[in-house]
Structure 1
Amino acid sequence: MLDTHPSIFVPHISEDISILDLNIIAKQLNTLKPHKLINSSWANFKTNTESSFNIAHLQDTLLLKFQVSETYFKSHARKTNDDVHLDNCVECFISFLDDENYYNLEFNCLGSLKVGYGEGRFNRKLLPEQILKSIKTLTKLQNDKTLNQFNWEILILVPIDVFVFSNLKTFRGLSAKANFYKCGDDLPQPDYLSWTFIDTLEPDFHQPKFFGDIFFS
């Protein structure tokens, strides 16, 4: 099934984040309809991996929760802005306010992260570690040996100030372009799943022309 240009209306969660813990936020996101990463865009990388994500916002915080079921585990606790895409990894690429540049937010299943900004794969500026320290994650891992499955999920809280090049004040009423991914370049069986279909010859997530529409309620 190909979904070339879908859209998402991102709900607002009204509770004050200061009085909630991450487990409560994760449970709230679980009540939302998940969006599946149904597109395996490259014939040479077909996979049994399944992944979905939930998305919401708190006016000043982007909330993401990915769930993944796959066969292999191969990840490392990495330094900030290291190559997390080599591991069991999920990603969100997003641009705001008709900006031709976009942010890439990448997380492995251990919570290591990489965040950059730019107009394409080869012209990116990595964000300073001091800014990225404000991003919070909560990960849960489960190895089901009976079914030969590695199941994991990650909750991600991204304060609006992380998007330093966009001068954003609130997510409320904002529109954006985005795509969401699951990958694992160094897994025994590499996989490349995306929310929208990507029409390129080789795996390449840095394709903003295939981003879908995001509308923040």
Structure 2
Amino acid sequence: MKSMEVKVIQSAKELETLSPFKVDNKLWGTKTAPVTYGYLGFIPDSGFCLKMVCEETDPLRKYTEINAPVYRDSAMEAFFQFESERERNIQPTYLNFEVNANGALLAAYGKERIYRTYFTREEHEEFACSAQIEKDRWSAALYIPLSVLEHIYGPLCLEAGSTFTCNFYKISEAAEIEHYASWSMIETDVPSFHLPEYFGNAVIAGSSPV
């Protein structure tokens, strides 16, 4: 199973000083997928900062509204699962964040692929999702506040040494550019990113280099 260290940072401005994770496992017959990588950092008592980058020119980007099916465009995705006392001994909840090059964010949580709860417009404002298109790439940035996580999970003690699981993806379901890639390998015949059993391990690992 894949693993990563999530460095403690003071602000999102430090993200690109961190070592990137690579979304380079091609899945379900995918021959080519755009080079995709990202940076994840943790601000103590605040939340997680995420930036993902895709080396793709003129990405497909039809959707503009929150919680639209951006996976039908060209999209990058991040899924997370945390442990809490509230969910001990029951099937745990996981979160999915999916964004296209317009910065349209689909965000939801639940225990399985169906019957998911979508985040509200007010919660989307807290995520502060944004996207930027450059000549040969596009990127998306996202903030995941602890307040939102604790609304779902109850109190979380996240500090150096704390662990959680996650996975990161590149996708398009559009027939002309269909592709699937992941950070942590998924070993199934049927395409699905909603498989927490294939999430990789993450540990919060102290401060980033100065």
Q: TM-score, normalised by structure 1?
A: 0.83
The offset of 1:175, in angstroms, is 1.4
1:156 aligns with 2:156: no
Partner of 1:136: 128
1:55 equivalenced with 2:47 (yes/no):
no
Residue of structure 1 aligned with 2:21, choices 11, 35, 50: 35
8 Å CA contact retained: 2:35, 2:55: yes
Quote how far apart the aligned CAs of 1:71 are. 5.0
Matched, 1:188 2:173: no
Q: 2:154 aligns with which of 161, 167, 170?
A: 167
The separation in 2 between residues aligned to 1:196 and 1:166, in whole angstroms, is 24
Secondary structure class of the residue paired with 2:176 = coil
User: What letter is aligned with 1:166?
Assistant: Y
Q: Name structure 1 gaps, 5 residues minimum.
A: 18-24, 145-150
Return closer, same or farther for 1:62/1:96 CA change in 2, 3 Å cut-off.
same
Q: Is the 8 A contact 1:105 1:114 kept in 2?
A: yes
SS at match of 1:52: strand
* Mapped partners of 2:157, 2:66: distance in 1: 26
1:70 is displaced (CA, Å) by 2.6
Query: Quick one: which of 74, 81, 90 aligns to 2:60?
Result: 74
TM-score by length of 2: 0.85
> How many Å apart are 1:187 and its aligned residue?
6.1
Q: Which runs of 4+ in 1 moved over 3 A?
A: 168-171
Match in the other structure for 1:20:
none
Instruction: Tell me what 1:83 maps to.
Output: 69
Q: Which whole-Å CA distance do the structure 1 matches of 2:21 and 2:6 have between them?
A: 11
Cα distance in structure 2, aligned partners of 1:167 and 1:41: 34
Tell whether the 8 Å contact from 2:170 to 2:181 is kept in structure 1 after alignment: yes
